Amino acid sequence: MMKVSFITLLFFVQGAVLFEIFEEKYLLVAFLDVGQGDAIYIQAPNGNDILIDGGAGNDVLRELPSIMDLSDKEIDVVIGTHPDKDHIGGLIPVFDRYVVKNFLDPGVGNDTLIYKELMKRVEKESNYVVARKGMKIYLDKDVIAEVLFPDRDIQGDTNNTSVILKVSYGETDILLTGDASKGVERYLLKQNLESEILKVGHHGSKTSSDPLFLKEVSPLYAIISAGAENRYGHPHASVLSALGQTDAEVLEIAEEGTILFVSDGKTFLRK
């Protein structure tokens, strides 16, 4: 498969506004309830959209129609943060229902049937880009999704290949960390990490959420995407304790269901 890398990715595609009740100036951020897995949908004020991960199975198809305009059958950008099933398994059904214009991942795969099938779909139906630090996706003139990591080919634990993304709209920011470990979090400390919303790393596993990292991010909201009564014990008590040392309001998808925010470029409001 041909891998395409760009320093800057510009996606200005006309799209429908998500809900009529939202004025055009609003950015929508939805942390989707897909059980034990990640799936985050973001729509810019002009209608351009991005889906980061899709959970393990078909749950993402239950959630997306409740968020997107029912007439919208395209997603401008899909990112598979890393090749674990609970992040990319649901992206195959997404390809079944939606036209995916651009697909990004860290350029690291595995030998699973799920990964191989997904990449077959990507090769046939989408523009494939290997995500690298410094890439910027312009969803709207004031909405930028910047890749913070990886900055090179990463070997070993696929969790540590996770695409880490900072999405900014005006003065508001969202930090999405995939399943990256504390070592990667510490590696990022020299960058500007401050964000109002943090997607807590690795579903609240004790392998992530380094206290120094949390201090630098200084989130107002910390979202934990773990399934109810999951067999991994997520979120771990040590992570909840570390988050308790911040000013963040901790929100668990297992308790809240899909979590929605809107931003006017100055502040986030929970919907």
Residue 4 falls within a domain, yes or no? Answer: no
Euclidean distance between CA atoms 232 and 203, whole angstroms: 10
Residue 211 falls within a domain, yes or no? Answer: yes
Euclidean distance between CA atoms 158 and 162, whole angstroms: 7
Total domain count for the chain? 1
Which residues constitute the domain of residue 45?
A: 9-266
Residue 1 falls within a domain, yes or no? Answer: no
- Of the candidates 233, 201, 224, the one whose C-alpha atom is nearest the C-alpha of residue 214 is 201
Residue 235 falls within a domain, yes or no? Answer: yes
Q: At 120, which CATH number?
A: 3.60.15.10
Residue 164 falls within a domain, yes or no? Answer: yes
Residue 2 falls within a domain, yes or no? Answer: no
Q: What is the pTM of this model?
A: 0.91
pLDDT in tens, the chain (271 residues): 444 434 345 443 333 333 344 445 899 999 999 999 999 999 999 999 999 999 999 999 999 999 999 899 999 999 999 999 999 999 999 999 999 999 999 999 999 999 999 999 999 999 999 999 999 999 999 999 999 999 998 888 899 999 999 999 999 999 999 999 999 999 999 999 999 999 999 999 999 999 999 999 999 999 999 988 888 889 999 999 999 999 999 999 999 999 999 999 999 999 8
Q: 């807590």: which residue's tokens? A: 200
Residue 160 falls within a domain, yes or no? Answer: yes
CA 107 distance to own-chain centroid: 17
Residue 190 falls within a domain, yes or no? Answer: yes
